[in-house]
Amino acid sequence: MALIAGFDEAGRGPLAGPVYAAAVILPPDFPVHILDDSKKLSEKKREDAAAFILQYAAWGIDAQAVE
């Protein structure tokens, strides 16, 4: 079975400050309808989606800061 990871990064860039990156692998039966642009979701829907992802998906977050 092939696994596909979705990832994204946020930050000002390595010369201007810290950069954060995250990756998520969703299980095959994940209800993708709960995913949308977080700016379009209500706070409640965003919190529900986050809780579901934290419980059922493989995920990781890392940060890199310039010293």
Give residue 49's pLDDT: 85
Q: Which whole number is the average pLDDT over 42-60?
A: 88
Instruction: Write the pLDDT tens digit of every residue in 9-50.
Output: 887 666 667 788 889 998 888 888 777 777 888 899 889 888
Token pair of 23, please?
Answer: 């990756």
CB atoms within 10 A of CB 56: 13
User: Which positions ≥6 away from 65 have C-beta within 8 Å?
Assistant: 17, 18, 19
- At 37 the pLDDT is 78
* Nearest alpha-carbon partner for 23 in 38, 35, 5: 5
Residue by residue, DSSP assigns 26-38 as --TT--GGG---T
pLDDT mean over 43-58: 88
